[in-house]
Chain A
Amino acid sequence: GAGVSQTPSNKVTEKGKYVELRCDPISGHTALYWYRQSLGQGPEFLIYFQGTGAADDSGLPNDRFFAVRPEGSVSTLKIQRTERGDSAVYLCASSLGVAGAQYFGPGTRLTVL
């Protein structure tokens, strides 16, 4: 595809459930980022992958959040035992390298009831 894609575009779940959010980066982009944007706020950094490895996961709020990128392309953000405070738009971005311009996906709007 031409850009970063994310699925699903919307996800509604109940408190305590497990969710997976998927990101397909631009082909050839080695760097992949996950951000979270709460209503009325700017995005906040969650985790950064360089290739298959999580180079920096300092933004993950707690151990309920986990992300993988097993083949260095598609990434999945996993949230266990969801809480209402997890409701936000989860954004994915990719870049050619860590110093390159980041291209953002459309986001996944997660609502935890």
Chain B
Amino acid sequence: KNEVEQSPQNLTAQEGEFITINCSYSVGISALHWLQQHPGGGIVSLFMLSSGKKKHGRLIATINIQEKHSSLHITASHPRDSAVYICAVRYSGGGADGLTFGKGTHLIIQP
């Protein structure tokens, strides 16, 4: 079964800390997405990447295709960053055309 594993499942940190959330997957992909979901809110797409690194504001996403691993980093974290961060992949070479999602990382940033 093609799975997407995220770690940690839960993370509590203090405001200002550097945050890293990890995602690993089992087979080849054509794209990896990082998504953000606030409690009771909708899902917002943060990044879509297939190689290298992308940066948007305080958020950085990296992917290592050979190691089948991606990380989402948050610099100078703030309480408003508190949310569930979800990694999702689109597998290449057949299979479902939709995204396969990880279970999410619950991030709480305390002031």
A interface, CB within 8 angstroms of B: 33, 35, 41-48, 55-56, 58-59, 91, 93, 98-107
A102 touches B97 (CB 8 A): no
A56 touches B97 (CB 8 A): yes
Chain A residues, CB < 8 A from B33: 101-102
> How many angstroms from the CA of A106 to the CA of B43 in the assembled complex?
7
Residue B72 at the chain A interface, CB threshold 8 Å: no
B interface, CB within 8 angstroms of A: 4, 30-31, 33, 35, 41-45, 48, 86, 88, 90, 96-104
> How many angstroms from the CA of A35 to the CA of B90 in the assembled complex?
14
Secondary structure of the B contact surface, majority rule:
strand
Chain A residues, CB < 8 A from B44: 104
Chain A residues, CB < 8 A from B102: 42
> How many angstroms from the CA of A66 to the CA of B35 in the assembled complex?
27
Q: Do A91 and B43 form a contact, CB below 8 Å, given A41-B103, A42-B101, A102-B33? A: yes
Chain B residues, CB < 8 A from A43: 43, 86, 88, 99, 101
Chain A residues, CB < 8 A from B41: 106
Q: Do A42 and B98 form a contact, CB below 8 Å, given A101-B48, A107-B42? A: no
B45 touches A101 (CB 8 A): yes
- The one of B43, B48, B98 in contact with A56, judged by C-beta atoms closer than 8 angstroms, is B98
A48 touches B98 (CB 8 A): yes
- Closest B residue to A91 by beta carbon equals B43
> How many angstroms from the CA of A58 to the CA of B100 in the assembled complex?
12
Chain B residues, CB < 8 A from A107: 42
Chain B residues, CB < 8 A from A55: 97
Q: Do A59 and B96 form a contact, CB below 8 Å, given A101-B45, A103-B45? A: yes
A44 touches B101 (CB 8 A): yes
Chain B residues, CB < 8 A from A101: 33, 45, 48
Q: Do A42 and B96 form a contact, CB below 8 Å, given A101-B48, A104-B45? A: no
B42 touches A33 (CB 8 A): no
> How many angstroms from the CA of A99 to the CA of B103 in the assembled complex?
22
Q: Do A56 and B104 form a contact, CB below 8 Å, given A101-B48, A104-B43? A: no
